[in-house]
A and B are shown apart, each in its own frame.
Chain A
Amino acid sequence: MSTVEASPRASLAARLFQSGAHQKLLAFASLVILLIGFSLASPSFMQTSNIIAILQATSVNGVLAIAATLVIITGGIDLSVGTLMTFCAVIAGVVLTYWGMPLPVGIVAAIAAGALCGLTSGTFVAKMKIPPFIATLGMMLMLKGLSLVISGTRPIYFNDTPGFTEISRGSLIGAVIPGLPIPNGVLILFLVAMAASYILGRTVLGRYTFALGSNEESVRLSGVNTDAWKMAVYALAGGICGIAGLLIASRLNSAQPALGLGYELEAIAAVVIGGTSLAGGRGSILGTLIGALIMAVLANGLRILSVAQEWQTVVTGAIIILAVYADMMRKRRMG
């Protein structure tokens, strides 16, 4: 038998392979190499202000990528995360600026709108059996259109809501530890990541997220209401997109209704670089976080080295191919 069998005494290496940690290590190693490479190439790269800029740049894409990760682990895909983010930002704008409601109401409204849209996508997929790619593609376009309709194609500014920009730009950590002015956007990213990681690893919802992606029919035959759980995963992902909407609106101090298209692909790229399988059943939030960081570090580092924006995109594309190829080679070796 060439198959590796797990036992409590299995070597550390074997256990790392099994937990999928190997792919995370690979991604993490790439991240470290990038960091070292860029700091050698440019002295300004490792400055605190630049590191914070990288983290701030990661926050929105990171949160979206976490949402995408959840859906992808079920064996689905969510193309609507980008425009859903914008839609939620617009909803926050309507509630706060047009209706003049207090800040907490706007926050709840944005997240609830996200969850509701996610639930709708989930219904298309689970109940109407529309392939996830098509269902969320339709959702992506509908939300893009709705954002423009609701906002009247104009940006909605949050000048009347004091404290709104603090959601992303303020620094709670900086207030406590003056030497560490980490923006709230980054703090929120890590809180979302920890929550999502906990849900995936420790709750029933997380268990079924993996199980659905691994062998849905088998889960169904085990008597689990697979449709309901799948809808729950899409709804959770939608709610997380709502958080991303708040982050980006806060950073821009406005809801930009034309924004959002293209963010879904960036998010999926981060998920893939982080080692989550598009076939479903395998993946991790930590990996996705590292994937999002790799993309932000690349963009930032290449900009510091004065590499043109166009070339940054080329490099990102190549990284995706490399990451997936490395993952495939690893699996082939393991037979």
Chain B
Amino acid sequence: MAAVSPYEMPEAGSGHRQPVVSMRRIEKRFPGVHALKNVQFDLMPGEVHALMGENGAGKSTLMKILSGIYPKDDGEVLIDGRPTDVPSPRAAQDLGISIIHQELSLMNDLTAAQNIFIGREPRLSFGRLDETALNRRAAEIFASMNLKLDPRALVGRLTIAKQQMVEIAKALSFNARVLIMDEPTAALNNAEIEELFIIIRRLRTEGVGIIYISHKMDELKRIADRVTVMRDGQHVGTVAAADTPVDRIIAMMVGRALADSALTVPDLAGAPVALEVKGLARGREIRDVSFSVRKGEILGFAGLMGAGRTEVARAIFGADPREAGEIIVDGVRRDIRTPADAVEAGIGYLSEDRKHFGLAVGMDVRANIAMASIGRFTRRFGTLDETAMRDAARAYIEQLTIRTPSDRQEVRLLSGGNQQKVVIAKWLLRDCDVLIFDEPTRGIDVGAKSEIYKLLNGLAAQGRAVIVISSELPEVLRLSHRIAVMCEGRLTGILPGGAGTSQEDIMRLATQRESVMQPMGGMQ
């Protein structure tokens, strides 16, 4: 890969215009993580500058520094060429920098106009509100955006796309000169994306600088002037969007494929199918997903955030409803409507959010391990057989090498890796033959990760079917015997595991959007 020096940034547009934002040598550390290392970024007025990188590359952190949410550790931020402090979100707004978060931060119970002017309501005397002026001003902003929207509409009743427009209107009401959009199209359909692009182009012609964070390659080609790629908290390069091939951008994002310990893919051709999913569907989130896993196989699920992987897992597990689809376990069609049905069928799901869904963190290791199998430890009159529970818990503490002083230790006092092992023990005790792991190593330090990998390999070797959802491509490549890739609720392909598959192959499928849209010329 031809390295692009951070200092060879192509200029956007022509002339000697000054960047409206220039971030130099930005450093940021969080406990245990060097989140940003010597990062450079600049933005010209009237430019759409895409910021790309894998999850965790540091894009959001950089933007939170620019919008005053995080303080930087080192480096400087220049606004209009002058070194400027951005100590708070309010300060950023006063400087004309507005951020539109991926999770919209609107008040659903207020109207569009009330949301836009929250904290800056036009007032009459004695703290009375001037609703007429409020609605008129909001209507003016909507008109300037060429947007048909009633200022008095309750935000909670609007579509996500319209809510986003309200956020943009709010940003514009601050006379925003810099607009940061974090994955603005993640929840939009194609028509809504078009609507958004029209607004973005209009803002661009008015000289607003737009920082556009997205994973979607085709969008960048259509909307962005320049692309900056980040990886592992570092600036990899800035290129002109028009004359850089998509493959090159992907290569910049994933870096050189790491020569990791070779994965041996077992020959499972003769192994029985443990789980088969046919035509699973629910709205736009899950669209006709079909796949199967054999006993002894690890099937990886790759995709970008919001691709629908967790939704698929939860639908199989009965945690969320499905509109269509069959779930066949060990050759028997099972009607799974609730998690209890799934557990009965031998499916275990290990949520990405252990603390919320996987563990009762205030209870001890013993209680947590026994949680899903409580019926086995219940004697007559509903009393619990603590001795049997203790023995079972101790057996798994030993088998999985869970580091805990005893089976009575509260789970919240264990490390992330050991908490994850407790969840695994819980499902093993329940005799689950199909285990779905959602981001099994999230929040777990590097050392413990390889232990979890070993554990997953061990489970497969015992003949269990293992599904691993992971947003970290190296992890998927390292573990999976086969790799299912999702994009926008669809299964866009299943790749063989092992050395034959690269991160680029996965990224290509993960960004393969359904409709190919017409490329459009830039606005004058």
Interface residues of A (CB under 8 A from B): 1, 3-8, 18, 202-207, 210-211, 213-215, 217-219, 221-224, 281-282
Contact = CB atoms under 8 A, between A and B. Distances in A.
A310 to B, nearest CB: 32
B159 A223 contact: no
A281 B107 CA distance: 8
A272 B120 CA distance: 31
A8 B150 contact: yes
Interface stretch (B127-135, B482-490, B514-522): B127-135
Given A202-B128, A203-B129, A223-B90, A3 B106 contact: no
Interface string B400-430: 0000000000000000000000000000000
Given A207-B114, A210-B109, 17 more contacts: A4-B157, A6-B152, A6-B153, A6-B157, A18-B153, A18-B154, A203-B126, A207-B129, A211-B107, A211-B110, A211-B118, A215-B106, A215-B107, A219-B119, A221-B89, A223-B88, A281-B109
B121 interface: yes
B108 interface: yes
Nearest to A218: B105
Nearest 8 Cβ contacts at the A-B interface = A6-B153, A214-B107, A223-B90, A281-B109, A218-B105, A214-B109, A224-B119, A222-B119
A5 B148 CA distance: 11
Contacts of B105: 215, 217-218, 221
Contacts, number: 82
Interface in B97-145: 105-110, 114, 118-121, 123, 126-129, 131
Nearest to A282: B109
Contacts of A222: 90, 118-119
A204 B121 CA distance: 7
A1 B161 CA distance: 11
B180 to A, nearest CB: 14
Q: Which of B93, B106, B119, B153 has the most CB of A within 10 A?
A: B119
Interface residue tally on B, bucketed by range:
20 to 34
B265 interface: no
B287 interface: no
A39 to B, nearest CB: 37
B444 interface: no
B282 to A, nearest CB: 14
A205 B121 CA distance: 11
A8 B135 CA distance: 13
Contacts of B93: 223
Contacts of B119: 219, 222-224
9 contacts: A3-B159, A7-B153, A202-B129, A204-B127, A211-B110, A215-B105, A215-B106, A222-B119, A223-B89
B292 to A, nearest CB: 33
Contacts of B159: 1, 3, 5
B158 interface: yes
A207 B157 contact: no
Nearest to A211: B107
A214 B108 contact: yes
Given A219-B107, A221-B89, A222-B119, A7 B150 contact: yes
A294 B290 CA distance: 55
Contacts of A221: 89, 105
Interface of B: 88-90, 93, 105-110, 114, 118-121, 123, 126-129, 131, 150, 152-154, 157-159, 162
**Interface residues of chain B: helix, strand, loop or mixed (majority):** loop
A5 B131 contact: no
A224 B118 contact: yes
Contacts of A204: 121, 123, 127-129
B60 to A, nearest CB: 15
Nearest to A206: B129
Contact of B106 (A202, A206, A218, A224): A218
A111 B522 CA distance: 65
Contacts of A282: 109
A88 B183 CA distance: 54
Nearest to B152: A6
A202 B126 CA distance: 11
A121 B120 CA distance: 27
Nearest to B160: A3
A203 B127 contact: yes
A6 B150 CA distance: 7
A6 B154 contact: yes
A3 B158 contact: yes
B519 to A, nearest CB: 27
Q: Which of A206, A210, A222, A281 has the most CB of B within 10 A?
A: A222
Contacts of A210: 107, 109-110
Given A6-B157, A7-B153, A203-B129, A219 B123 contact: no
A214 B129 contact: no
A219 B118 contact: yes
Contacts of A211: 107, 110, 114, 118
A1 B119 CA distance: 31
Contact of B121 (A5, A207, A215): A207
Nearest to A216: B107
A5 B153 contact: yes
Contacts of A207: 110, 114, 118, 121, 129
A213 B128 contact: no
A224 B114 CA distance: 13
Contacts of B107: 210-211, 214-215, 218-219, 281
A223 B89 CA distance: 7
B153 to A, nearest CB: 3
Contacts of A206: 129
Contact of B158 (A5, A214, A217, A218): A5
A165 B458 CA distance: 82
A38 to B, nearest CB: 35
Contact of B127 (A3, A205, A214, A218): A205
A206 B89 CA distance: 24
Contacts of B157: 3-6, 18
A202 B127 CA distance: 9
Contacts of B128: 202-204
A202 B125 CA distance: 12
Q: Which of A6, A7, A203, A205 has the most CB of B within 10 A?
A: A6
A219 B105 CA distance: 9
Contacts of B118: 207, 211, 218-219, 222, 224
Contacts of B152: 6
